[in-house]
Amino acid sequence: MPELPEVETVRKGLNQLTLEQEIEGGEVLCDRRPSGLSHSIAHPPSVDEFLQAMRGARIVQWHRRGKYLLAQLRRKGNASGWLGVHLRMTGQLLWVAPEEPLAKHTRVRLEFKSGKELRFVDQRRFGRVWWVPADLAPEKIMTGLAKLGPEPLSEDFSVEYLRRTLERRKRAIKTALLDQSLIAGLGNIYADEALFLSGIHPETRCCDLSVSQLEELKRAVVQVLEDSLREGGTTFSHFLNVQGVNGNYAGVAWVYGRRGQLCRRCDKVIERVKLGGRSSHFCPQCQAIKN
DNA sequence: AGACTGCCCTGGCGGC
DNA sequence: TGCCGCCAGGGCAGTC
């Protein structure tokens, strides 16, 4: 499940490998579902139109907002819109030689004149690819972009912002951390890790958090993201960087995925609860409920 | 407005 | 060994 550090790692790799090379063709792989023909292109509705937009384009730069990737496109010196990608759970962007055998769940191929291919591979098919025409703002087409809260590694993400945003909310802090409209880019792994590091029980109501707890939480969120970023993302799940290499962060997970194992800090057994349809892992001693 | 729920999707795993 | 059903979860639509 790529979260901010993984998406950022992919972005950096793409900026090293894919810029200023003409896209000469591509392919969108469809498969026949009971519900009909299915593919990963969210926009435009026509696959042909998508591929036509890709042909002849070059990528100027890759950007990231939350967990969204955005490639700025140019054709013959003119702006030609944006290529947007969201990896969701299992999506991967891989920079490969054309003769590389197609992975089973390959959804999109973009062929570059330089003799390389960018492939979007996505086992569970939650991931999405968009083309946004140059005369539209990306958030008009990629509507999720418009709803994103501040970047957690920016100055906008302050203790004061957290206090102002959470002080009247009654829901659990864990579900608030996963809400992309409050903070952009956190997912289940780093939310659980940040709550452990700040000693906060995931079921604590937002409005019950003290200012010192919010300070701890803010610090912990920044720390887990920066630590993971430094290692090139987590080794968990399906994450691979563009060159097909896993990250290095997993060894230091305090609670995520450790239900039934002993807390690395106090030896109590790590527990798991369901919150908003997502599992939350926590240490019942290090993250005692505050009233 | 805020807070829920269910849905999409596939592979891996537990249980029998 | 085989089969069934459950589980993983990001974002979005729908509901109250």
Q: Is A147 a catalytic residue?
A: no
Burial label for A152, CB within 10 Å (0-12, 13-18, 19+), is: buried
Nucleotide nearest A145, from its CA to each C1': C11
Is A2 catalytic? The answer is yes
CA atoms within 13 A on the CB side of A125: 13
- Per-residue tens of pLDDT for chain A, all 291 residues: 789 999 999 999 999 999 999 999 999 998 777 667 788 999 999 999 999 999 999 999 999 999 999 999 999 999 999 999 999 999 999 999 999 999 999 999 999 999 999 999 999 999 999 999 999 999 999 999 999 999 999 999 999 999 999 999 999 999 999 999 999 999 999 999 999 999 999 999 999 999 999 999 999 999 999 999 998 887 565 677 888 777 655 556 899 988 888 999 998 999 999 998 899 999 999 998 754
Which of helix, strand or coil describes residue A25?
strand
Strand order in the sheet with A23-28: A23-28, A106-112, A117-122, A91-96
- A278 Cβ within 7 A of any nucleic strand B atom: no
> Which of chain A's residues 165-184 bind strand B, using a 7 Å CB cutoff?
169-172, 175-176
Place of tokens 């055998």: A101
In the residue annotation, A138 being an active-site residue is answered as no
A61 touches strand C (CB under 7 A): no
**Beta strands in A113-188, from DSSP E residues, in sequence order:** 117-122, 128-132
Q: Which of A224, A138, A140, A214 is closest to A182 using CA atoms?
A: A214
* Nucleic acid strand B within 7 Å of A105 CB: yes
CB A272 within 8 A of CB A287: no
Report the predicted TM-score, pTM, of the whole model to 2 decimal places.
0.95
| Residue A279 CB lies within 7 Å of the nucleic strand C | yes
